[in-house]
Amino acid sequence: MLVDPTKTPQVRNFGPQEIQYSRVTINFNDPGIAAGVAFGVLPQYAFITAIQSYVETAFNAGTTNNVSIGTTAATGNEISGNIAGQTAGYANATAAAGLGCAVTTAGPVTMYAKYAQTGGAATAGKIHIVVAYLLNNDL
C-alpha cells in the first residue's frame, strides 16, 4: 500500500528558491481511495507549476477510471480533474483550478488523491502523480 490513510501530511520546504513537490502513488485498491486520501499539504500562496503523471499499470474498470487530485476528500478534483488512468505512460495533467495560486490564496490546503470508477470493478491500476509548486518567498 502506497497511499496511507493513517498518515498526516506535512508541508515540505526544500528551501525558498527551489521547486517543491508532493508525489503520490495510487493503486486501484488502496484503502479509502474511492473516498479520497490525504497525501500532502500546499502552503498558503503556493504557486502550482505543473501536475504530471505516469501510469505504470493502466486502470481497467469497466466504464470509467477517474483519478483526481483535490482540496477536499469528497469532491477530490479541485486541483486536477480526471487524470487519464486508462493508458500507460507519462502525461502532463490538466489543472482544474488552473496553475498558479488559485487553490492556495486563503491558506494552506491539504491535497487528496481519489480514484472513482464505474462499470465492472477494476482489477489493476497504478499511477504516480507529482504536484510541483513554488513557495511564496516574496515576504
Residue 40 in any domain: the answer is yes
Q: What is the count of structural domains for the chain?
A: 1
Contact (CB, 8 A) for 127 and 86: no
Residue 67 in any domain: the answer is yes
Residue 1 has a pLDDT of: 43
Residue 70 in any domain: the answer is yes
Segments of the chain with pLDDT less than 70: 1-3, 12-16, 84, 98, 139
Residue 1 in any domain: the answer is no
User: pLDDT digit string (tens) for 43-77?
Assistant: 999 999 999 999 999 999 999 999 999 999 888 88
Contact (CB, 8 A) for 58 and 125: yes
Task: Identify the domain containing residue 89 by its residue range.
Answer: 20-134
